[in-house]
Structure 1
């Protein structure tokens, strides 16, 4: 029964997927007779949401990439990805699959805007609201994609039906401008008195007002990303605030999985269906949560000695030592694995089958607003409180008011750029892509290990974080373009690579919003 249910589910999702890959030679593609033209738009949206979450929040794109790059996790056995050796087959697959997800969202927009189908689709939600929600989620996904690879196909992507088989790579600066405009336009077209979707929406259950708040909050995120390079960033945030943003944790954009197969979270499935035991909390993140200084690398902690109340929520065995990060697989010893939490035997919250993966939260917004207001204390404290309240109780560990107030008081002396960035980093746990963005944008947390810093001392031997790809002495700046693009979309690929540092497809070319220098840890906002 389980196998049959799983097969039927996959067939349903497959029937909703638009078989479109942005950078593939599609000149000889035939019409798929198994792709019905009359699929309800709310079901296309449901399939798109799940497919996006399954790919972004899984044990590869997140587990072996962004959660490792942001040093929340590291691997217990095979550490090559921790050290920036990326598998080309995986990179090719995710680039293609995420564009397929974009095509599905484009399908929702077209079904609700084409006069031939719009009237029929209105049965599943207000047409304009459906279009707006699809545009908002598209923007969220494009942000993940452009902040992973850099300049990518945007304006010409998902246009196979218009005869565009080889889409150009848009400059990331232009993609950001377009994304901010897309969010502004999407929020403006929403009618909050009407539902966005009548069923199928697992993020906001069709609530148009929450989709609008998400659009404006996401606009604030994009604005803070470009705050070092775009003098209009404060205007973007002011516009978003005037139009309505998240007001509490009730507005959080999260996708909640189910305990019922095949609807479980992919983190869970990686451990308990694929029967793997690859990951655990990293030592740098464990030290941050424990309030421990990194004596091996002479790094301070802004509130040394203060343990974070989220520690027993984020990981089981909170008294243990995190896994050394970035050491060769041959240097990993059984004692290191024993000293780190064994998540297979004692699963933490993120390995629950029905884990809620966060797209964006009210707490993140408060940290953005603190920076917007010159690193203000009020929004900083509101962010810390909102984060603890969000995570509290999700795994049975509840943080009481007294404990919360004591902690907030302890971490709120002399609020500055570093403290805001560090608390934001702690809150962004499991949202590895955004935490990775924030490190590249601000240089914080300084507690994260850089290449050639000491990871641990074992048996009298000093083991350092060593990389398998050149990153110019810092954390990885981007993921290389997939090799398939060099043959399937060669002209556009070559043009994009020519604009990278050293005119090579490398891991160290910075995003346009990353203007850090070795002597300027957190550049001033414009």
Structure 2
């Protein structure tokens, strides 16, 4: 971690944290970030939530990394990202923003509150902050592998060591369990500042149980016994409907719009990929017209993944489809985790033999939840049941092929959560139902010699090689080399 992550001015912190204020409603913004010297806990929470969502759904990070690596999108004018030439500026901003803004705000919030834990609601506030930390640390550990954790915010330490990613996972699982025990629905939490759940303690408790499931399913091949016990212990208290979804609701006014929107300009950076379009067409997926816009001739057409600008087979831009209008909406929510993901986790857990109910039922619940989510987001109403039933008949559950069946539908349901979808792609290694390849090979060779099909991780920041060299070298050696082809600890099975 660089000096800039840990040593920066209070003004910079407040500029980052107070883009939103801690109001109950995002519309009620009336706070001058230049006057105060210390941000209060509600402002810090809002800044942490917004900072993380802004970077995770930015076109530069989600678009060129997550959405590319999950093969939802293909680059238009800029195609080297599709061929795995990592933009170091985008990489640095992802790392620095999650640490410098979001995690730092949460750490500051917890430290400010700790002397006041006996006051009503303060323990709930700290628990919510720690649950949010667990969400962010998992993203970092899944994107990079070993990361700074135990020494991250030690005041005098500007060169923190990297902790083993498995150790971070175990610490965060313990953390989530502790916060579940701490959360008290009989007391208040945040009266303002919580954009995700408006301080609803029961909702945060459900999210903590659900994040336990996400952690556990991702590590299940590395530690099936522990993962299984966690899933069986927490699944009944996790999300149970779309009403439980954890998301950051943006509004249609600057600077609080969805980070990647076309309200000021037409966005032409990405086309949807043939990977996604061709599969969705093959099963008549009712979400296709939401995920993508029609191109020339009122048809939806994806662009081959990794196709360079000068390729003679490449058609003019009007022939390819851009992502759907909802994805470019100023009010598109930033999704932290949703009910559909929980159901697909449970479908996989049941398929692996865990005592969590019927795999086929969870699988159908996951598909239904996803379709209803998108229909309600775009039309205000859930999907007609006949549309859902028709689609379910086209993509039936097959216990003998559970990995491909569940993996493909979970991949579709995670759109546009590029990073989470990429992590699942590398973890589960699924194909189309029946075993045919789902993900296309690159139209042109990879520009990274360590990667052929898909990166398994992002490389560490270049600045770490000069400013934190000893810890960087130790971390690189511990994971097996600082390359995008190095598999994470849970991918080596």
What's the TM-score, normalizing by structure 2? 0.86
Match of residue 241 from structure 1: 235
Match of 2:488 in 1: 511
8 Å contact kept, 1:15–1:35: no
TM-score between both structures, scaled by the size of structure 1: 0.81
> Do the aligned partners of 2:145 and 2:479 also contact (CA within 8 Å) in 1?
no
> In the alignment, what sits opposite 1:477?
456
Post-superposition shift, 1:40?
2.2
- Aligned match of 1:290: 281
Quote the Cα distance in structure 2 between the aligned partners of 1:149 and 1:325. Answer: 24
The answer to whether the Cα contact below 8 Å between 2:347 and 2:361 also exists between their aligned partners in 1 is yes
Is contact 1:316-1:341 (8 Å) kept? Answer: yes
After the TM superposition, which residues 333-412 of structure 1 pair with which residues of structure 2 at under 5 Å, given as runs? 335-342=315-322, 348-374=325-351, 376-396=359-379, 399-412=383-396
* Contact 1:109/1:134 (<8 A) preserved: yes
1:217 to partner: Cα distance = 0.3
Taking the aligned partners of 1:12 and 1:110, their CA distance within structure 2 comes to 15
- Cα distance between partner residues in 1 of 2:258 and 2:130: 24
Three-state SS of the structure 2 residue aligned to 1:476 is: coil
After TM superposition, the structure 1 = structure 2 runs for residues 48-447 of structure 1, keeping only pairs within 5 Å, are: 48-100=48-100, 101-115=102-116, 126-160=121-155, 163-230=156-223, 231-241=225-235, 244-268=237-261, 271-273=262-264, 276-291=267-282, 306-317=283-294, 319-331=299-311, 335-342=315-322, 348-374=325-351, 376-396=359-379, 399-415=383-399, 416-445=402-431, 447=437
Cα-to-partner distance string for 1:4-63 (whole Å, 9 max, x where unaligned) = xxxxxx99951747xxxxxxxxxxxxxxx9684543211111111111111111111101
Shift of 1:155: 1.0
What are the Cα deviations for residues 77-133 of structure 1, in whole angstroms up to 9, with x where unaligned?
110111111122222222112111111111111111124xx57xx5xx711111111
Q: What SS does the corresponding residue of 1:393 show, helix, strand or coil? A: helix
Cα distance in structure 2, aligned partners of 1:71 and 1:402: 30
Corresponding residue number in structure 2 for 1:449: 439
CA distance in 2, matches of 1:489, 1:12: 22
Question: 8 Å contact 2:14–2:34 — kept in the other structure?
Answer: no
Aligned residue-pair number: 452
Q: Partners in 1 of 2:34 and 2:376 — Cα distance?
A: 45
Distance 1:42 1:412 in 2: 46
- Does the Cα contact within 8 Å between 1:15 and 1:36 map onto a contact in 2? no
Which runs of 5 or more structure 2 residues have no equivalent in the other structure? 1-10, 19-32, 353-358
Paired residues of 1:449 and 1:465 also in contact (CA < 8 A): no
CA separation in 1, counterparts of 2:13 and 2:471? 34
The separation in 2 between residues aligned to 1:351 and 1:60, in whole angstroms, is 14
SS of 1:173's partner is helix
**Distance (whole Å) between structure 1 residues aligned to residue 140 and residue 361 of structure 2:** 33
Structure 1 residues 13, 265: CA separation in 2 closer, same or farther (over 3 Å shift)?
farther
Q: CA deviation at 1:500?
A: 3.4
**d(CA) in 2 for partners of 1:168, 1:448:** 39
Deviates more, 1:190-199 or 1:312-321: 312-321
Q: Secondary structure at the match of 2:205?
A: helix
Which residue does the alignment assign to 1:28? none
Distance 1:448 1:365 in 2: 23
SS of residue matched to 2:334: strand
Unaligned runs of 5+ in 1: 1-9, 18-32, 292-305, 456-463, 517-526
- State whether residues 183 and 201 of structure 2, in contact with CA within 8 Å, keep that contact through their aligned partners in structure 1: yes
The 3 A distance-change label for structure 1 pair 389 and 497 is same
Give 1:497 deviation, angstroms: 1.1
Q: Distance in 2 between matches of 1:477 and 1:507?
A: 6
C-alpha distance after superposition, 1:247-285 (max 9, x if no partner): 1110001111001122101111xx444654201211101
1:254 aligned counterpart, secondary structure: strand
Mapped contact 2:263–2:330 kept (Cα < 8 A): no
Shift of 1:75: 1.1
Match of 1:459 in 2: none
Is the 8 Å Cα contact of residues 253 and 361 (structure 1) preserved in structure 2?
yes
2:218 touches 2:427 (CA, 8 Å); kept in 1?
Answer: yes
